[in-house]
């Protein structure tokens, strides 16, 4: 399938923050192939912050899960207003989400429509009949590689694959001023939280790690800036945070735009597999990522330099400027939401020693300071 003229393109990504960020290579390829095209996004409203950080996006439409809580008649009226506003407004609509509603949006909003579809024939048979083009997810391939399956359907060849994020000059100025006021010249980010508790490095281990990072920082003149949002999980971590002259607690004190600026000014990222990790990787920062049950081939940090990510699980591995830590357990990674698959405890995270992470950071810091 080839769309000869695509002046208006809609990309539908109704999933998590990470999914939105990792759509950036697809957006860049579309922008390069269709010069001057207006590329818009349709996302869930809780991912608006990261969507605003993607280059080459003109407009962002948001879907709110709050609509489902409305009385039936009000919900129907709200969604119909939304559909009428976007109906057939695009030459091409691409859904990176396989849900029925997202596929229907692609069909309704675009003259041509492409979507990822389920592998289950009972769910995808009708989608194959009505979509202009479709593809299926390979669960052994990276999210970025799966997204780029759209390109051959459009007759577009894959060029350089890079993730990219941007931030406002105002946020950069504010962050620089705050760093200067605190007397911070060089710093690393320690990000102990995640969207879900089952991904969070356990408290006793992260406190030990932060203590070791603090000592490394004091030896090398590098501050540790601890980051996080204002969620209950982040604030719980903040309440128990190690106090040290070299540790700066910024949890809940930056917007996402400000955080992206802070990350770009940092030397390195140390923390879990979450959005912040992908931001650091997109900025080509030195990344030390702590992985629990998450499927590594799908979600490992993307190296813009190597044009690849990690594919095989190992207790510790480094590729380009990225080091990933995992537990040496036969079940890793399981891809579940905790061992019980109900957002409970992830035993694998308890098997990653803080000393191994701090040692890797220390070796890199020594090399960095001597180059």
Q: pLDDT per residue over 248-303, tens digit each? A: 999 999 999 999 999 999 999 999 999 999 999 999 999 999 999 999 999 999 99
**What's residue 360's pLDDT?**
98
Give dist(CA 22, CA 138) in Å, integer.
Answer: 16
Give yes or no for residue 225 having a pLDDT over 70.
Answer: yes
Token pair for 191? 């990000």
Give yes or no for residue 371 having a pLDDT over 80.
Answer: no
pLDDT band for 1, please (50, 70, 90 cuts). low
Token pair for 110? 């675009």
| Range in 116-130, 149-163, 203-217 the model is least confident about | 116-130
Give yes or no for residue 103 having a pLDDT over 60.
Answer: yes
In the predicted model, what is the mean pLDDT of residues 86-101?
97
**What's residue 370's pLDDT?**
78
| DSSP secondary structure string for all residues of 314-327 | -SEEEETTEEEE--
**What's residue 123's pLDDT?**
84
Give dist(CA 180, CA 175) in Å, integer.
Answer: 9
- Quote the pTM value: 0.96
SS3 271: strand
Contact 151, 159 (CB under 8 A): no
**What's residue 20's pLDDT?**
98
User: What letter would DSSP give residue 347?
Assistant: G
Which domains does the chain possess? 8-153 (3.40.50.2000), 169-369 (3.40.50.2000)
Tell me the sheet residues that pair with 235.
Answer: none
Span 230-255, pLDDT tens digits: 999 999 999 999 888 899 999 999 99
Give yes or no for residue 3 having a pLDDT over 70.
Answer: no
Q: With left for phi above 0 and alpha for psi between -120 and 50, is residue 291 left, alpha or beta?
A: beta
In the predicted model, what is the mean pLDDT of residues 109-133?
93
Reported in sequence order, the residue ranges of 146-233 that DSSP labels E, i.e. its strands, are 187-191, 223-226
Give dist(CA 18, CA 233) in Å, integer.
Answer: 18
**What's residue 300's pLDDT?**
98
Q: Is 65 exposed, middle or buried (0-12, 13-18, 19+ CB in 10 A)?
A: exposed
Give dist(CA 92, CA 30) in Å, integer.
Answer: 11
Give dist(CA 371, CA 26) in Å, integer.
Answer: 36
| DSSP secondary structure string for all residues of 21-72 | HTTHHHHHHHHHHSTT-EEEEEEEGGGHHHHTTSTT--EEEEE-GGGGGS-H
Percent of the chain with pLDDT over 70: 99
SS3 257: helix
Task: Describe the crossing of helices 256-265 and 275-282 by its angle, rounded to 10 degrees.
Answer: 50
In the predicted model, what is the mean pLDDT of residues 71-79?
94
In the predicted model, what is the mean pLDDT of residues 353-361?
98
Give yes or no for residue 5 having a pLDDT over 70.
Answer: yes
Q: How many CA atoms lie within 13 A of 248 on its CB side?
A: 21
Give dist(CA 277, CA 289) in Å, integer.
Answer: 7
pLDDT band for 4, please (50, 70, 90 cuts). low
Helix (H) or strand (E) holding 340: none
Q: What is the residue-averaged pLDDT of the chain?
A: 95
Give yes or no for residue 2 having a pLDDT over 90.
Answer: no
In the predicted model, what is the mean pLDDT of residues 87-105?
97
First to last CA, the chain: 51
User: 308 vs 49, 76, 240, 303, 321, CA distance in Å?
Assistant: 26, 44, 37, 6, 12
**Exposure string for 31-61, b = 16+ CB within 10 A, e = fewer:** bebbeebbbbbbbbeebebbbbbbeebeebb
């Amino acid at each position: 399938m080839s769309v000869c003229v695509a002046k208006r393109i809609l990309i539908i990504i109704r999933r998590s923050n990470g999914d939105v960020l990792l759509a950036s290579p697809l957006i860049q390829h579309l922008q390069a192939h269709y010069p001057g095209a207006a590329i818009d996004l349709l996302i869930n409203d809780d991912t608006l912050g990261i969507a605003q950080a993607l280059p080459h996006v003109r407009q962002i439409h948001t879907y709110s899960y709050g609509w489902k809580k409305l009385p039936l008649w009000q919900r129907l009226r709200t969604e119909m207003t939304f559909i009428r506003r976007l109906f057939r407004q695009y030459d091409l609509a691409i859904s990176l989400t396989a849900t029925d509603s997202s596929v229907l949006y692609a069909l309704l909003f675009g003259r041509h429509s492409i979507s990822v579809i389920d592998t289950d024939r009972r769910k995808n048979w009708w989608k194959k009949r009505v979509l202009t083009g479709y593809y299926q997810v390979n669960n052994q391939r990276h999210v970025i590689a799966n997204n780029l399956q759209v390109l051959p359907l459009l007759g577009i060849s894959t060029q350089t694959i890079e993730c990219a994020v941007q931030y406002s000059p105002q946020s950069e100025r504010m962050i620089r001023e705050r760093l200067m006021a605190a007397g911070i010249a060089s710093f690393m980010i320690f990000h102990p939280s995640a969207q879900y508790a089952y991904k969070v490095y356990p408290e006793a281990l992260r406190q030990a790690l932060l203590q070791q990072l603090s000592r490394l920082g004091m030896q090398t003149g590098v501050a540790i800036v601890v980051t996080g949002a204002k969620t209950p999980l982040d604030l719980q971590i903040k309440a128990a945070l190690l106090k040290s002259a070299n540790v700066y607690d910024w949890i809940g004190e930056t917007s996402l735009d400000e955080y992206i600026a802070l990350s770009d000014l940092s030397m390195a990222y140390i923390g879990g597999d979450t959005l912040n990790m992908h931001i650091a990787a997109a900025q080509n920062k030195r990344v030390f990522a702590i992985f629990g049950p998450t499927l590594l081939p799908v979600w490992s940090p993307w190296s813009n330099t190597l044009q690849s990510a990690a594919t095989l699980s190992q207790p510790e591995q480094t590729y380009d400027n990225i080091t990933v830590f995992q537990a040496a357990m036969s079940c890793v990674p399981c891809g579940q939401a905790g061992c019980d698959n109900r957002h409970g405890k992830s035993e694998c995270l308890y098997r990653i020693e803080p000393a191994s992470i701090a040692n890797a950071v220390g070796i890199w810091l020594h090399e960095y300071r001597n180059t």
